[in-house]
Amino acid sequence: MNEFVLHDLDLGMFLHEGGTTGKELEEKFLQLILSELNLAGTKFFAGTADTTGNMNSFGTRLENRGVAHICCADHVLRLTFGLCHGRRCLR
């Protein structure tokens, strides 16, 4: 029987200079993984991003590579609160 061993890596924060389209973010992300972090061959199974259009595009591109895209719960809650603020739905 195979035993599961949890491995994790905190990537931290990195300065992104350049374009912000989904395609440009995907290219920079892959470059970061392959060259700067030397993580070639690493299996990524999920990524989290906010729900702006370019980040949804980036998430779709990750999904096309077999990586699950999970929308940031905090961002979704903030958007929901913004829609409901001042309305009866929160009272």
pLDDT in tens, 13-48: 677 888 999 999 999 988 887 777 777 777 777 888
Residue 78: C-alpha distances to residues 30, 73, 75, 81 (Å): 29, 9, 5, 5
Integer Cα distance of 14 and 24 in angstroms: 15
Q: With pLDDT > 90 as the criterion, what percentage of the chain qualifies?
A: 20
Residue 7: C-alpha distances to residues 18, 24, 43, 78 (Å): 31, 28, 11, 31
pLDDT value at position 11? Answer: 58
